[in-house]
Structure formats: C-alpha cells, structure tokens
Amino acid sequence: MDTFATLRDIIVEKFEKDPAEITPEATFETLEIDSLDTFDIIFSAEEKFGIKVPNEQVEIKTVQDVVNLIDKLRAAQGKV
Amino acid sequence: MTRRVAITGLGLVSPLGNTPEIFFNALMAGKSGIRRIEADFAERLDTKIAAQAEFDPLQHFTKHKASSLDRVSQFALYAAGQAIIDAGLDMERVDKSRMGVYLGTGMGGAASVEEGYVRLYRDSAERLKPFTVLMAMNNAAASQIGLEYGLTGANLTYSTACSSSSIAIGEAFHQVRHGYADVMLAGGAEALLTFGTIKAWEALRALASEDKGNASASCKPFAADRSGLVLGEGSAIVVLEDMELAKLRGAHIYAELTGYGSGNDSSHITQPSPAGQAAAMRAALHCAGLIPSEIGYINAHGTGTPLNDPAETAAIKLAFGEHAPNIPVSSTKSMHGHLMGATSAVEFVACVLALTHGAVPPTINLQNPDPACDLDYVPNVGRRGVPLRHVMSNSFAFGGTSGVLIASRVD
C-alpha cells in the first residue's frame, strides 16, 4: 500500500479536496485543515494501515510529515 | 431595568416538516408525523414507532462538517439559521457581544455516545473517533451556533429533561428582559432515536404501544385508550429581542414573550404533581401580569402517558379555577411526538403561530374520552378564527422541573 497515495485519498475523501492540491509538500495550513482535523486524518490512517499512533503530540506541518510518521510506525509495528 | 421581549424569528426541524409554516399547517390539518421506525435495529424493539425528522445533513453541510456534527447539532444549526433569516437580522450589523444562545437538550449527542460504545464494546476498537467528545458533549449544539455566527454573548445549555427548552427560552427571556443581552437565540434540540435510548425508554414502560390499525395514531393524549408517549426528534429555535430595538430596525414581530414560570415538584422522580405544575402556571401568569381568564389557549404538556394527562388536567383546574373548562387545551404531541429536550421549543413555536393565525391546533386520536380528563382538548379538529390574545405553553419533566411560557399578541 503506497503511503502517500492512501493518505491523499483519505484527505480527498474527508475534505472534498481536489487531489491535485494534495502534494507531499502541501502544508495543512494552506489546505485549511486545522490541528483537530489532522487528528481525524491520523485516526483514519490508523485504521487503514493497522497501526497505532501514540497519543503524544507530534509535530505535523506537511502531508509528508504524516507520510513519514506512518512509514516509521509501519516499520516499527511490523505492518509494512 | 425591565424591557419588553419580542419574538422576531422562528426556525424548526420537526417530524412534521422543516419550516414553521409547514409544521403549523400540518398541525392544523391534524396530520401525524409518527410512523414505523426505519432502522436496522427496529426488529429488536418492542415499540417500533417514533416521530423521525426527515433531514438530510448533506443538503445543508459539507461532508466534513456534517461528519463532525452530531445529528442534534445539525438540527440546531439548521433551525438557528432559519430563525436568523426569518428575523431579518443583519449579522454584519448586530452587536455580537450582545447576542447569545440558550438551548435545551435532554441527551445532547446521544448517537455519538452510542456509536463510541458500539466501537468500543462490540467491535473492540482501539480508538474512538477524535470528534467523539466534541460531538457528544451536551453543549455542542449551542456552541456550534455561537461559533457559526461569532456570537460572544452568554452561551448556555439547560438540561431538565422534557422541560429543557422551555427553561432555555424562559432564561433567555430573562437575559433580554433584564438587559444582559439584546438578542437571544433560544430553544432546544434533540436527536435521541438511537437503539440504546429507545430501549431505555422501553424499560421505563412509558412508551405508547402501536395502534393496531394505524401506527401514526398511536399517541392518544387525554384519551381513555392512551398508552404512553411516542419519542420524537428535532429542534426549534426562536429569536428573542429587545422590543424597542426590534421596532427600531422595523422587524416583523410575531408576538411578545410576556410570561415565564418555573419550579420543581420535588415530590417524585417521574410522577407529576398537580400542585407543582399549577404553581409554575401561576408564576407565569404573575410574570405576565395576567389573570386566568385572559389565557385563550394552552398547549399542554399532554404526553399521553396514563399519569401525565389527568395530573395536568388537575393542575390546570387548580391554576385556572372556574375558567379551566372555557380554555381550549391541546396536545400537539399527538402529532409530532415527544421531542424531549426540544419538545417545549417546538410547542412554543406552535403557540406563537396559533396566536398569529388565530388558530388552535387539535389533539388528534381523541375518540374515547377519559372521565378523569374533562377539559376542552380540541378533539381531532383544529379551530380557526379564534381571536387569541395570550397563549400558554406547558412543559413538565422527569426530575420535576416545570417550565411555563406565555406569548401575547402585539398590536
């Protein structure tokens, strides 16, 4: 499962965004997605990838930040 | 400082339609919004009837917004928007620090709470939706309205079971009357037609059994063959405004909110006390400066339970004395069901429109009178051409809190 493509689909589905807007470099701020909404994205990513993102606050600014977080956890939790 | 309080806007989502006029026309036509429950869980219910609102959130909100709002907040936001438009309020010009929101709800985000439990207990999920708290909290609906319009005046949620929204409207009346706010959005919202909530009501043995020939006729307030209440869902919100400011901006004024009485029976958690109910009616009359003979219509609490209806009848006799038999008293719950925390607001809208139309809605399904209920309940057929000046809306509740409102004609 391609992490970025899956994440993009989650964002597009939830926020009815144009897929072209969702690039790795795009910041959630420019996408007008606030921190509360990023929790919702992470929630869906947890289900989709079968991982558990720890509850500690993580620094997330761009789409790539979430991709990195997911990849790291998939590797650590053996869900690649 | 005491100011007069105008009612300048109405908004509503109900089992009889989603505008005040459609709703009131349905009441006058004696239509029922009660029907068989359309849900997967219905087969596991003993009581398969309810008064559901037809409301498609995706017609009013984006997909993301809709998914972050419990149904109760969706109803409330929609009703509030309607009420603001109806009042002709220019939100660019309103002093938002002088405008607040008081809502009533019994169970707040009931569906969100239940969905969380289903995930947790049935599905053994690791996590709940991140919005669960924000959707389930009882003050979500009022808060969402405040957020939507940037209102920084007082924002409170009242929860007194079936009288919640009467209390919210009454307390909002005080806000305006005593100068704490110029404009208030006041009312209630409820969306509790979930499997768990209906099962809980079943266990209390308070629900009406289904009428064998006609499910929509299952709620029979004041009738000898009444068997209980029918749960409903929806929201009603009114705009309350300082009378002078409303006149100054040339607002259409439906009526004046003149009376509010509240108190608690403090006698039993469910059984009504006629003395307590009569005290609240007297308090509302006193607040409005009216005598009993001046009330032209009472919208009864009229749940259709064996206990409520004779108790309320006795209470009306206590409060109105010799005038009681002359006053039309109807239970519109026979048509829209019991919307719990939203019910008094919906019934208050019915009262305001009764006043402005000079029309009294009926109590339907009243074919077999109960000797213990011997007032004029406007059986089965509404009355038009009734010159009403002052109308009363009664609300009583589990937990004992009474809320009584009086609306008066403005000439």
- SS3 assignment, position B98: helix
DSSP line for B163-214: THHHHHHHHHHHHHHTTS-SEEEEEEEE---SHHHHHHHHHTT-BPPPPSS-
Chain A residues in contact with B69 by the CB 8 A cut-off are none
Q: For B7-36, how does the pLDDT look when each residue is reduced to its tens digit (9 = 90+)?
A: 999 999 999 999 999 999 999 999 999 999
Banded model confidence at residue B388, pLDDT cuts 50, 70, 90:
very high
Contacts of B109 (CB under 8 A, 6+ apart): B70, B72, B73, B135, B136, B137, B138, B140, B191
Mean pLDDT of chain A: 92
Q: Give the pLDDT confidence score for residue A80 in this predicted structure.
A: 60
Banded model confidence at residue A59, pLDDT cuts 50, 70, 90:
confident
Dihedral sign for Cα atoms in the order B118, B119, B120, B122: positive
Q: Please give the structure tokens belonging to residue B399.
A: 């937990």
Q: Give the pLDDT confidence score for residue B231 in this predicted structure.
A: 98
Chain B residues in contact with A43 by the CB 8 A cut-off are 127, 129-130
Q: Decide if pLDDT at A79 tops 70.
A: no
Banded model confidence at residue B47, pLDDT cuts 50, 70, 90:
confident
Q: Give the pLDDT confidence score for residue B312 in this predicted structure.
A: 98
* Domains located in chain B, CATH noted: 5-248 (3.40.47.10), 258-408 (3.40.47.10)
Q: Give the pLDDT confidence score for residue B411 in this predicted structure.
A: 80
Q: Give the pLDDT confidence score for residue A78 in this predicted structure.
A: 77
Banded model confidence at residue B245, pLDDT cuts 50, 70, 90:
very high
Q: For B53-82, how does the pLDDT look when each residue is reduced to its tens digit (9 = 90+)?
A: 999 999 999 999 999 999 999 999 999 999
Mean pLDDT score, B229-241: 98
Q: Please give the structure tokens belonging to residue B387.
A: 């010159």
Q: Decide if pLDDT at B6 tops 90.
A: yes
Catalytic residue among B338, B351, B357, B373: B338
Q: Give the pLDDT confidence score for residue A56 in this predicted structure.
A: 82
Q: Across the interface, do B64 and A14 touch by the CB < 8 Å criterion?
A: yes
SS3 for B335-377, per residue? Answer: HHCECHHHHHHHHHHHHHHHHHHCEECCECCCCCECCCCCCCC
Place of tokens 């989502």: B13
Residues of chain B with pLDDT > 90, as a percent, come to: 98
CA dihedral B291, B293, B299, B301 (to 10 degrees): 70
Banded model confidence at residue A55, pLDDT cuts 50, 70, 90:
confident
Contacts of B35 (CB under 8 A, 6+ apart): B49, B50, B51, B52, B215, B216
Closest chain A CA to residue B128: A43
Q: For B299-320, how does the pLDDT look when each residue is reduced to its tens digit (9 = 90+)?
A: 999 999 999 999 999 999 999 9
Mark out chain A residues that contact chain B at CB-CB < 8 A: 14-16, 36-37, 39-40, 42-43, 46, 52
Q: Decide if pLDDT at A77 tops 90.
A: no
Q: Decide if pLDDT at B192 tops 90.
A: yes
Chain B residues in contact with A16 by the CB 8 A cut-off are 62-64
Phi, psi for residue A31 in degrees, rounded to 5: -80, 0
Burial category of B358 from C-beta neighbours within 10 Å (exposed 0-12, middle 13-18, buried 19 and up): middle
Q: For A9-23, how does the pLDDT look when each residue is reduced to its tens digit (9 = 90+)?
A: 999 999 999 999 999
Mean pLDDT score, A48-52: 93
Model pTM greater than 0.90? yes
Bridge-based pairing state of the strands B297-299 and B329-330: parallel
Q: For B320-352, how does the pLDDT look when each residue is reduced to its tens digit (9 = 90+)?
A: 999 999 999 999 999 999 999 999 999 999 999
Contacts of A80 (CB under 8 A, 6+ apart): A74
